[in-house]
Amino acid sequence: MDISRRIKIRHLEAFVEVARQKSVGRAAITLSLTQPAVTRTIRELEQIVGAALVERDGRGIRLSHQGEVFLSHAGSGLAAVRGGIAALANVATVTGPPVRIGALPTVSATIMPGAVADFLDSGLKSPLRVTTGENRVLLDQLRKGDLDLVMGRMPAPENMASLRFEPLYRDRVAFIVHNNHPLSRQRQVAADILSRHPVLVPPAGSIIHPFVERLMLEQGMAPPVKAVETVSDSFGRAFLRSTDAIWIISRGVVAAELASEEFVELPIDTGSTMGAVGLITREADRPHDAALFFAEILRRRSSQS
C-alpha cells in the first residue's frame, strides 16, 4: 500500500506537536491525549515512513536528521489541511453578499468599531470589509460600485454628483496636543502658536481643509512654519506622543484619547468648522439588504453618540 495512504492526520498532529514541544508529555497535554497514546502514534508513523524521527536527548527528546527533513513537509501539509477545513466551514456559513464599507478617519475610530461588533453579533452571514482612506478615494470607489456605502463628513457639493447624503450627527475640527505639551494647561493661546510648533494639517483636497483655512483667516492665526500634511490618524497619534506638535483634525478622530485625557484640546473656538457626518450612497441603485442592515446599525450608533 502507498505510504501516503497509511499516514493519517493524527500522525501528523502528534509528530508536529512533539517537535514543537520537544516533549511527549507536553504534546499529550496540548493534544488532550495520554502520553502512551502519543508515543504509540509516533512509533506508528516511524514504522510507516521507515525511519526514526525522534531521538532521546537527556530527559527530553529531539528530532533526528530524518525527523528534521520530514517536519518541514509535515508542518506545511498539516497547515494546508487545517486551512482547507476552515475554508469549507467558511463556505458553509457565508451565504450573503459581502458588505463593503468606506469609513473616513472621523468615524473609523468612533462609530465604526461598535457598529462592526454589532453586525458580527447579529448572526447575519455576510462577510464584512471596512476600507479607510481619503474622502476622494472612497467616493470614487463608491461610484464605481467597489463600496456599498461610505460614512463620513458631507462632501462639497461639487463632489456629490450621482451620490446621496444622509446626515446622522455633527462634528467639528479641533486643535489637539499631547497632555505633556507646554500648551496643554493654557486657558488661552496666542494667535501665533502655529508658527512656534510643528503642525499636522489636513491636505488640500481633504474635506476639512477649507474649514481649517477659513478658521485660520477668521481668527487671524499665523500660518504654520513647520507644517506636515497628513490624513493618517495612526501617524498623527504617534507624532503627538513623541513631539510638541499640534494636530488639526476632526474631533471624533481622537475622541478616545480626549476622554482618557492623553490628548488635550486647545482652547480655540472652532464652532465655524462644525459639519454634518453621515451616510453616502449611490443615487442610481439601492444597497443590498445586508448593507442596508449595516446602515441601520450606523444610524442607531450615531443616535447614541
- CATH number belonging to the domain at 170-274, selected among 3.65.10.10, 3.40.190.290, 3.30.950.10, 3.30.365.10: 3.40.190.290
Q: How far apart are the first and last CA of the chain?
A: 67
Residue 21 sits at φ, ψ, to 5 deg, of -85, -20
Please give the torsion angle defined by the CA atoms of residues 247, 251, 255 and 257, in that order, rounded to the nearest 10 degrees: 10
Q: What is the 3-state secondary structure (H, E, C) of 181-235?
A: CCCCCCCCCCCCHHHCCEEEECCCCCCCHHHHHHHHHHCCCCCCCEEEECCCHHH
Domain boundaries, the chain: 3-90, 99-169+276-303, 170-274
pLDDT at position 88 is 64
What gap in Å lies between CA 125 and CA 78, rounded to an integer? 28
Q: Does domain 99-169+276-303 have CATH number 3.40.190.10?
A: yes
Q: What is the pLDDT along the chain (305 residues), one digit of tens a residue?
A: 456 668 888 998 998 998 888 888 898 899 899 999 999 999 998 999 889 999 888 777 889 999 899 888 888 888 888 887 776 666 556 567 899 999 988 888 889 999 999 999 988 888 999 998 888 889 999 999 999 999 988 888 888 889 999 999 999 999 999 999 999 999 999 888 999 999 999 998 888 999 999 999 998 998 899 999 998 899 999 999 999 999 999 999 999 999 999 999 999 999 999 999 999 999 988 899 999 999 999 999 998 76
pLDDT at position 85 is 76
Contact 119, 130 (CB under 8 A): no
What gap in Å lies between CA 173 and CA 276, rounded to an integer? 12
pLDDT at position 145 is 93
User: Biggest alpha carbon distance in the chain?
Assistant: 87
- Eight-class DSSP state of 129: E
Question: Taking the domain 3-90, which CATH number applies?
Answer: 1.10.10.10
Question: Is the C-alpha dihedral spanning 83, 88, 92, 97 positive or negative?
Answer: positive
> Comparing 3-90 with 99-169+276-303, is the CATH topology the same?
no
Query: Where does residue 197 rank: exposed (0-12), middle (13-18), buried (19+ CB within 10 A)?
Result: middle
